[in-house]
């Protein structure tokens, strides 16, 4: 029986690909287990879409969600006002393509990110405030039947894997 693969934000496995050249390393026994089993398919959608590291911070505009960016009714903006929605959508499309090619039915993504956030986003005002909502990648993966989990829901992901 083939093991379910997990698309994982590259920063979660320790790659310094976040906008400020840091990682979001998650040290958890399940992460080590999945790595050893060869389940993890790491990807940073923003880097894959062509953004550099470091790069300007970006947030989805206030009151909007990743799904609305996908639908063309909201945007993603850098803190200097530059709209980068097309690049974020490209990153989401490449993440979906990577997940589908690898046979991923699950994704473990960094919460809060305008790409990978699944339970919360930053406010869109660059004030460190947060609000509920998904990022562009999380929204596109969910639309295509891939279950998305944030890094603080690793046990729920393990339960979903066990049920599959």
pLDDT tens column, 32-79 = 999 999 999 999 999 999 999 999 999 999 999 999 999 999 999 999
Mean pLDDT of 124-143: 97
Task: Decide if 24 contacts 109 (C-beta within 8 A).
Answer: no
Tokens of 154: 């690793």
Range of the domain at 67: 5-163
Q: Round to whole Å and give the CA distance between 1 and 75.
A: 42
CB under 8 Å to 98, separation ≥6 — which residues? 7, 41, 43, 48, 104
Q: Round to whole Å and give the CA distance between 54 and 94.
A: 20
Question: The pTM is what?
Answer: 0.96
Mean pLDDT of 150-157: 97
CA dihedral 11, 117, 40, 146 (to 10 degrees): -160
Residue 1 has pLDDT above 90, yes or no: no
pLDDT tens column, 87-132 = 999 999 999 999 999 999 999 999 999 999 999 999 999 999 999 9
Q: How many domains does the chain have?
A: 1
Place of tokens 């829901």: 153
- For the chain, first and last CA: distance in Å? 11
Tokens of 116: 């990978």
């Amino acid at each position: 029986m083939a093991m379910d693969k997990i698309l994982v934000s590259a920063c979660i496995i320790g790659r310094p690909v976040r906008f400020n050249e840091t990682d979001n390393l998650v040290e958890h026994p399940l992460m080590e287990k999945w790595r050893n089993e060869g389940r993890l398919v790491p990807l940073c959608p923003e880097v894959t879409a062509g953004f550099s590291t470091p790069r300007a911070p970006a947030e989805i505009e206030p009151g909007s969600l990743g799904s609305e960016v996908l639908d063309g009714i909201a945007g993603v903006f850098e803190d200097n006002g530059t709209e980068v929605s097309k690049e974020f959508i490209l990153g989401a499309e490449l993440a979906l393509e990577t997940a589908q090619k690898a046979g991923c039915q699950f994704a473990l993504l960094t919460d809060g990110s305008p790409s990978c956030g699944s339970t919360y986003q930053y406010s869109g005002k660059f004030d460190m405030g947060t609000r509920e909502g998904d990022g562009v990648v999380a929204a596109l993966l969910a639309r295509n039947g891939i279950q998305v989990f944030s890094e603080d829901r690793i046990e729920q992901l393990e339960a979903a894997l066990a049920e599959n």
